[in-house]
Amino acid sequence: MKFKLIAAAAIVACGLSTSASAHHSFAMFDSSKQVTLVGTVKEFQWTNPHTWIQVNVPTNGKVVEWSIEGGSPNGLARRGWKSSSLKAGDKVTLVINPMKDGSNGGSLKTVTTADGKTL
């Protein structure tokens, strides 16, 4: 009986550790800062494990492309998002946690579309 209990505990521990290690860290994002970007969607990638928004942002007379990581398609769908929620050419305002290294990327907090809808 003791062996069965130890074996069951080991199986559960292995299963939990695999799930936890499969997810990546968000340490690359500066969660103490929020940046607002106003631009045009270049591409919306509805992919697992996380969605991505490529957005062109006018900056000092140039257009700079930003890569913004969003939630999982499943998680976003539960909040009312669809794969068609953002399309190339859509004007958007994004609030993000920026990259710690200062590169043009971040973790999505909110998206507001041109018609005022916040996703």
> pLDDT (tens digit, 9 = 90+) per residue, 26-81?
678 989 999 999 999 999 999 999 999 999 999 999 999 999 999 999 999 999 99
Return the bridge partners of 57, or none: 64
List the domain boundaries for the chain.
Answer: 25-113
pLDDT score, position 11: 55
User: Which CATH code of 2.40.50.140, 3.30.70.100, 2.60.40.10, 3.10.105.10 fits the domain covering 25-113?
Assistant: 2.40.50.140
pLDDT score, position 16: 47
User: What is 48-61 written as a DSSP string?
Assistant: SS--EEEEEEEETT
Pairing status of strand 105-113 against strand 52-59: unpaired
Structural contact between residues 73 and 52, judged by C-beta atoms closer than 8 angstroms: no
Whole-prediction pTM: 0.77
Q: Which of 10-14, 63-67, 101-105 is predicted least confidently?
A: 10-14
Distances (CA, A) of 119 to 6, 14, 23, 30, 98: 47, 37, 24, 21, 19
- State the average pLDDT for the chain: 85
For the chain, give the percent of residues with pLDDT over 90: 75
